[in-house]
Amino acid sequence: MELTLDRLTKHYGRKIAVDCVSARLGPGVYGLLGANGAGKTTLMRMLCAILEPTSGQVFWDGEDTAAMGAAYRTVLGYLPQDFGYYPGYTASEFLAYIAALKGIPRSIAAGRVRQLLRTVGLQGAADRKLRTFSGGMKQRVGIAQALLNDPQILILDEPTAGLDPKERVHLRNLLADYAGDRIVILSTHIVSDVEAIADRVFVMKDGKFILRGTVPELVRQAEGKVWELSVPADRVRAWQEDFTVVNLRHEGDRAVLRLVADSRPDGHAVPCTPTMEDLYLYHFGAEEA
């Protein structure tokens, strides 16, 4: 089982949204990490055959997915960033409708819908109208619809948006278990979600993969770039203007700053053990600000 991206590129006029991206993916969880506008959604839409690439190809087990057509879509499950739903449908009705669109036989669909509503913790809300659901509940319905056809490739664009911490942990555990013999691609800018479950991480910026590797491999690249120091409280704003401050806490009339910088920013600064969040802000601090 292998999904191959071969020099995948997408132009919108003069703008390059995805720039000659290549990768080979086997079973496991892959985190696609980057700031808004990095090209993550465009890349995922090409992987799902929703967008046609300007150049490059996607292969599934060596076969060009553009030539596979509907056969490729049968192995896909996709949750877009903003998935459409019918507010007048109940959760069960909506999932049954999506199952019909995916060509799942009615005899199988009913049991699959019940099973997935339990999986995402909505069995008690199966007969409620979607218009009454909270944002997190709607997101869980979206996750369920992506899983309906038991896909071999599961692609999720910002799946934890709107979920509370307990729901996020439940989803992460679900995806980690699901990826045992399948490919799961998780796009997000929530670093903790990637850090918790991704087997490999692709860091995307300006349409390119600028980093790739396991979480420990990537974190090591931030060694010597994370610092902590105490400054007068009235100087915090000045430090924030000159550096990317990851965290601060006040201690009386002083503030303790954790920041990222290529070299020691002050003679009193001490090096810290880096995290994925530090690495992310080292590369995307300006965009996030």
User: Is residue 172 domain-shared with residue 230, that is, in the same domain?
Assistant: no
Alpha-carbon distance of 196 to 173, in angstroms, equals 9
**CB count in 10 Å sphere of residue 288:** 12
> Residue 155 forms beta bridges with which residues?
78, 185
Q: Give the model's pLDDT for residue 289.
A: 47
Last residue of a domain, one of 183, 214, 245: 214
Last residue of a domain, one of 180, 214, 248: 214
Alpha-carbon distance of 225 to 105, in angstroms, equals 55
Give 13-16 contacts, CB < 8 A, sequence gap 24+.
16/206, 16/207
- DSSP letters along 204-238, please? EETTEEEEEE-HHHHHHTTTTSEEEEEEEGGGHHH
Phi first, then psi: what are they for 58, rounded to 5°?
Answer: -120, 130
Q: Is residue 288 part of a domain?
A: no
Alpha-carbon distance of 155 to 80, in angstroms, equals 8
Identify the residue whose tokens are 């799902």: 48
Q: Is residue 61 part of a domain?
A: yes
Q: Is residue 284 part of a domain?
A: no
Query: pLDDT in tens for each of the 289 residues of the chain?
Result: 899 999 999 999 999 999 999 999 999 999 999 888 899 999 999 999 999 999 999 999 999 999 999 999 999 999 998 888 899 999 999 999 999 999 999 889 999 999 999 999 999 999 999 999 998 899 999 999 999 999 999 999 988 877 888 888 888 888 989 998 999 999 987 888 888 889 999 999 999 999 999 999 999 999 999 999 999 999 999 999 999 999 999 999 999 999 999 999 998 999 999 999 999 999 887 655 4
Amino acid in position 19: D
Q: Is residue 23 part of a domain?
A: yes
pTM, two decimals, is 0.89
User: Is residue 179 domain-shared with residue 231, that is, in the same domain?
Assistant: no
Q: Residues 95, 42: contact at Cβ < 8 Å?
A: no
Report the SS3 class of residue 84.
Answer: coil
Q: Is residue 219 part of a domain?
A: no
User: Is residue 107 domain-shared with residue 28, that is, in the same domain?
Assistant: yes
User: Is residue 95 domain-shared with residue 167, that is, in the same domain?
Assistant: yes
Q: Residues 22, 57: contact at Cβ < 8 Å?
A: no
User: Is residue 23 domain-shared with residue 146, that is, in the same domain?
Assistant: yes
User: Is residue 179 domain-shared with residue 76, that is, in the same domain?
Assistant: yes
Q: Is residue 104 part of a domain?
A: yes
Nearest alpha-carbon partner for 214 in 28, 47, 40, 18 = 28
Q: Is residue 285 part of a domain?
A: no
Take residue 7 and report the two structure tokens written for it: 């020099």
User: Is residue 208 domain-shared with residue 233, that is, in the same domain?
Assistant: no
Q: Which domain holds residue 157?
A: 3-214
User: Is residue 259 domain-shared with residue 150, that is, in the same domain?
Assistant: no
Alpha-carbon distance of 221 to 234, in angstroms, equals 32
Q: Is residue 283 part of a domain?
A: no
> Residue 204 forms beta bridges with which residues?
209
User: Is residue 208 domain-shared with residue 241, that is, in the same domain?
Assistant: no
Q: Give the model's pLDDT for residue 135.
A: 87
Q: Residues 159, 31: contact at Cβ < 8 Å?
A: no
User: Is residue 66 domain-shared with residue 114, that is, in the same domain?
Assistant: yes
